[in-house]
Amino acid sequence: MKITLAHTSRLLRPDFIFGVATAAFQIEGSADSREPCIWDTFCATPGRIKDGSDGLTACDHVKRWREDVELIAALGVDAYRLSLSWGRIIRRDGSINSQGLNFYLQLLDALKARNIKAFVTLYHWDLPQYLQDNGGWLNRDTAYKFADYAKVVAQAFGDRVHSYATLNEPFCSAYLSYEAGIHAPGVQNRQQGRQVAHHLLLAHGLAMQALQQYAPQALNGIVLNFSPCHPATDSEADRRAARMADQYHNHWYIQPLLEGCYPPLLNELAPEDKPEIQDGDMAIIAQSLDFLGINYYTRTVYRANSKAWFSDVPPTQPPLTDMGWEIYPQGLTEILLAMHRRYTLPPVYITENGAAMPDKLENNEVQDQARVVYFQQHLQATEDAINAGMRIDGYFAWSLMDNFEWAEGYAKRFGIVYVDYATQQRTLKASAIALRDVFAGRKNN
């Protein structure tokens, strides 16, 4: 099965950036050569990871990076989005781990030699445990530590990096980690969730200042995840619930960044649930962005609950992915255009989009046709947003290869490349071949 786009498509123009994405903890392994992080601790806690697995080996990428760079190059992408392990770069005592830094330098050099643009995320959830031991993101000082780390990185990497994102999906590090309690460190406390969100945004602002000073040539910004919030019924209560969820999960992050204030829902929080915000914080948060990365997977449906708050209604109707997420491509166009109409956005990149499917390796092939269809539909949805007048400069498939899917462990496969964890063999799935053909077709355009 092929992915087809209209030959006039903006996505097929040579300056549109196509890439694949990964994150450090999900692929790197070699945990012995870095500081432990909050996900190591979480994995070691019984019952936290569905299959009881951890990130100690993962895709063994630190040892196999040369092979992986060849794999990325063979896909014909323009760009590779990766994240850095903070604890592979800065040691507990504050000194720089030159072996860790060297690993990234070599990797970035190899990408550059193949003309692949590096989109580097500084923080994709793997906070060093030594910082967690001092309060982690609840401690305001962590935001300043993050800016110091950003400075070290920007000074070390020079022009090897095309683009820096400060944070990946602060919604997850705040809400999933401190309110829903399903991500590390597994806390359930609304005030703490809001405080962590605020400190993450502050960390972003401080790190942006460092990046603009020490890596002014790079495209510097942040990656947010969005999900359109739909009411379960037409009732006024459910519609209100969906609007509240939209403020709480989507606008809570983008509005401070672009307008220097939280959405009005902040005022409706109980006093004991409000984050502490110091004078001047909002101005630091609202640094000008060179780009905004948007991650999209699905929509979310909400109903009003008895606490005058909102609850999500898990989807039951097919088509669903292996995560149980509804396949809802029109939601991508919807959320992109909603943000485009609501805000003055910097150039946008789709920094993650993809699906977990129940893949089977048979005769050295993975016939993941459902994933091919998913990409076809979401590339079309991206195109629809562009045709409606929005500027979108790139698209990254999540993920380059199967990897450690957080609380789900290794059971959920998001890769376009199949990983046999017993042998670490990588095999291109049908979706990788279909995407490779799109990238190649474009170059001949």
- Binding residues (CB under 6 A) for ligand FCB: these are 23, 26, 168-169, 172, 225, 295, 352, 398, 405-406, 414
Give CA–CA dist 287/281, Å, rounded.
11
Which of 35, 169, 383, 408 is the catalytic position? 169
Phi, psi of 417 (to 5 degrees): -115, 130
Nearer to ligand FCB, 59 or 284 (CB): 59
Nearer to ligand FCB, 182 or 265 (CB): 182
Give CA–CA dist 318/326, Å, rounded.
7
- Least distance from ligand FCB to the Cβ atom of residue 82, Å: 11
- Least distance from ligand FCB to the Cβ atom of residue 207, Å: 18
Nearer to ligand FCB, 302 or 406 (CB): 406
> What is the arrangement of strands in the sheet containing 300-304, beginning at the earlier edge strand?
229-231, 300-304, 310-312
- Least distance from ligand FCB to the Cβ atom of residue 48, Å: 15
Neighbours of 323 (CB within 10 A): 15
Whether 352 is catalytic: yes
Please give the structure tokens belonging to residue 247.
């403020």
Nearest to 180 by CA among 171, 169, 191, 188: 188
Q: Please, which residues bridge with residue 427 across strands?
A: 418
Nearer to ligand FCB, 123 or 214 (CB): 123
Give CA–CA dist 20/5, Å, rounded.
19
Q: Match 């920007």 to its residue by tokens.
A: 154
Which residue sits closest to ligand FCB, CB atoms considered?
A: 23
Phi, psi of 321 (to 5 degrees): -85, 180
| C-alpha pair distances (Å), 165 with each of 129, 221, 222, 364 | 22, 5, 4, 36
Beta strand 310-312 pairing with 300-304: antiparallel
Q: Where are the alpha helices (DSSP H) in 37-119?
A: 38-43, 61-74, 86-89, 98-113
Which of 28, 35, 326, 352 is the catalytic position? 352
Nearer to ligand FCB, 173 or 380 (CB): 173
- Least distance from ligand FCB to the Cβ atom of residue 125, Å: 7
- Least distance from ligand FCB to the Cβ atom of residue 172, Å: 6
- Least distance from ligand FCB to the Cβ atom of residue 117, Å: 19
Nearer to ligand FCB, 166 or 295 (CB): 295
Residues with a known catalytic role: 169, 352
